[in-house]
Amino acid sequence: MPGKKLLIEAKSTADRLMKRVDDRVLSKAAQLKPSIVSVAQRIYDLSSYLSAIFNTLAERIGKEDKEVLSFGPHLYLVITGGKTALIRSKPYSIIVSYDKKNSEITVKTRNGYAVFSPGRIVLCKLNMKIDFDPTDVNDIINKYPEIKYLLRFIGKTIEFTLVPLLEKRIGLTI
């Protein structure tokens, strides 16, 4: 049961990020440039995917109280202490994890990572790293090219690699 609570907390972290982006950026869409609204909408969509992933995992594990759950070959859910990680190990690894202490959702691949929390997003690919507040329009405007480039990378990983796999393996519905 502690694993299910942790997954529900991870879902609520993604939901809080979605709500904050919606309230502070997307609600002002009429006054903003379309490119800024597009970035905010992409952050909202990725948060929605992460929320759905954690919600489906919470439903799927039910009352099982194991530290490691397997969802077929090379796909595992690990729950220890205040952390949980969904690990896809082959053909290349993708790790989606949640840290209760910092209230952060991390998506890691072989070339980069993204850290999502309600007040901050960190995106990194190879040697490019950017840290910004997704609810601050000026921060998005100032760092727009970097944010767009790095969001494209992490978005493709989540939307085109992870989501289809989880639809097959655990019955994820978006």
Conformation bin of residue 171: beta by default, left when phi > 0, alpha when psi is -120 to 50:
left
DSSP H or E stretch at residue 136? none
Residue ranges of domains in the chain: 2-170
What six digits make up the tokens of 97?
A: 């994890």
Coil vs helix vs strand at 131: strand
Dihedral sign, Cα of residue 139, residue 143, residue 148, residue 152: negative
Task: Please tell me the pTM assigned to this model.
Answer: 0.95
Helices (H), the chain: 2-24, 34-61, 137-142, 144-156, 163-170
Per-residue pLDDT of the chain (174 residues; tens, 9 = 90+): 588 999 999 999 999 999 999 999 999 999 999 999 999 999 999 999 999 999 999 999 877 778 899 998 999 999 998 899 999 998 889 999 999 999 999 999 999 999 999 999 999 999 999 999 999 999 999 999 999 999 999 999 999 999 999 999 999 988
* Residue that the structure tokens 């995917």 belong to: 49
Q: Are the C-beta atoms of residues 19 and 33 closer than 8 Å to each other?
A: no
